């Protein structure tokens, strides 16, 4: 398979699968038979979980990173519930647990026993919850500025990025979406008119606004918010965990990594300079190299 950036979207397989009571959309690509990806990382597939901003989806977050990872691992980019082409039901309980259970149901449907997980922001929280609730289903974790695990020691809450996300939710305009996206990156040339239009279309698609509000309320409602405070459970995680952060992250700032780094027994931290919340885009080459090397150190074979 040709994994050039120009052709990968056409060659990745787009699929939907009933996962429990939900239908999830995902993209899948893998190394050709006999290539190194069949044994790299213990032979486990890699599931990538996107962030939660307006118009976010598996493809918008990780589409450009897929060529590198799919050349080495069977890789699945999953639209979390409420995003992209997946169902957009009301969230039951806290979103992280709701989405983690949906991902596990998807793995069950696909007959996949164990995976490595890579999650950005909201997807990092989902990955963390999945690893805590279903440790037997997870090999290694890569968390990029993860939600729930990030505990800001010096920055105010809500952070600048979260405040701009809330501003868009209250009044969804292209201008407010552009203001939000501008907090994602240091390099403002990445905030193109094409990107704004693509994300705006997804963010205002039928059901998208309602899903965003339901997701957001799961972190504000006192009955469900505490379940999303994953930093309180970080000491229970026994997986090898790579925390990755953009030094200039304005959504989940770098000081939020310190508690997780201290509490997770097998955690390490890699910081990308001159980089915001989208390390997989803004520091694409270095991110891919660091992430691949970390996953490759996993030697345990997946069970048949």
pLDDT in tens, 241-258: 999 999 999 999 999 999
Q: Provide the pLDDT confidence category of residue 15 given band limits of 50, 70 and 90.
A: confident
- Is pLDDT at 9 greater than 80 in this prediction? no
pLDDT of residue 42: 87
**Percentage with pLDDT > 70 across the chain:** 92
- Is pLDDT at 34 greater than 70 in this prediction? no
pLDDT of residue 35: 59
Residues paired with residue 244 on neighbouring β-strands, in sequence order: 144, 270
Instruction: Please pick, among 155, 240, 277, 298, the residue that the annotation labels catalytic.
Output: 277
Active-site residue 298, yes or no? no
**Alpha carbon distance 28, 93 (integer Å):** 29
pLDDT mean across residues, the chain: 92
Higher pLDDT, 27 or 11: 27
* Average pLDDT score over residue span 145-157: 91
pTM tops 0.85, yes or no = yes
- Is pLDDT at 36 greater than 80 in this prediction? no
- Is pLDDT at 12 greater than 80 in this prediction? no
CA 181 to chain centre: 16
* Average pLDDT score over residue span 6-20: 69
What count of residues does the chain have?
Answer: 304
- Is pLDDT at 74 greater than 80 in this prediction? yes
Does the CA dihedral 174-162-120-105 come out positive or negative? negative
Question: Are the beta carbons of 141 and 264 closer than 8 angstroms?
Answer: no
Name the least confident of 5-14, 20-29, 138-147, 271-280. 5-14
């Amino acid at each position: 398979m040709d994994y050039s950036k120009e052709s990968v979207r056409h060659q990745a397989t787009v699929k939907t699968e009933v996962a429990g009571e939900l239908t999830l959309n995902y993209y899948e690509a893998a190394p050709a038979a006999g290539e190194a990806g069949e044994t790299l990382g213990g032979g486990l597939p890699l599931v990538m979980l996107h962030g939660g901003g307006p118009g976010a989806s598996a493809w918008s977050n990780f589409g450009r990173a897929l060529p590198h990872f799919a050349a080495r691992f069977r890789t699945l980019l999953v639209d979390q519930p409420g995003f992209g082409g997946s169902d957009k039901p009301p969230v039951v309980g806290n979103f992280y647990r709701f989405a983690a259970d949906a991902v596990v149901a998807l793995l069950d449907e696909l007959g996949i026993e164990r995976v490595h997980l890579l999650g950005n922001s909201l997807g990092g929280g989902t990955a963390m919850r999945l690893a805590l609730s279903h440790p037997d289903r997870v090999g290694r974790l890569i968390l990029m500025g993860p939600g729930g695990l990030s505990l800001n020691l010096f920055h105010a809450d809500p952070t600048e990025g979260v405040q701009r996300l809330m501003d868009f939710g209250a009044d969804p305009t292209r201008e407010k979406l552009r203001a939000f996206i501008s907090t994602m990156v240091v390099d403002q040339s990445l905030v193109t008119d094409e990107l704004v239009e693509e994300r705006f279309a997804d963010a205002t698609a039928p059901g998208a606004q309602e899903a965003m509000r339901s997701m957001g309320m799961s972190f504000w409602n006192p009955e469900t918010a505490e379940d999303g405070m994953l930093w309180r459970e970080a000491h229970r995680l026994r997986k090898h965990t790579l925390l990755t952060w953009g030094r200039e992250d304005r959504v989940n700032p770098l000081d939020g990594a310190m508690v997780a780094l201290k509490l997770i027994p097998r955690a390490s931290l890699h910081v990308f300079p001159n980089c915001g919340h989208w390390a997989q885009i803004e520091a694409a080459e270095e991110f891919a190299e660091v992430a691949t090397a970390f996953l490759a150190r996993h030697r345990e074979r997946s069970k048949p």
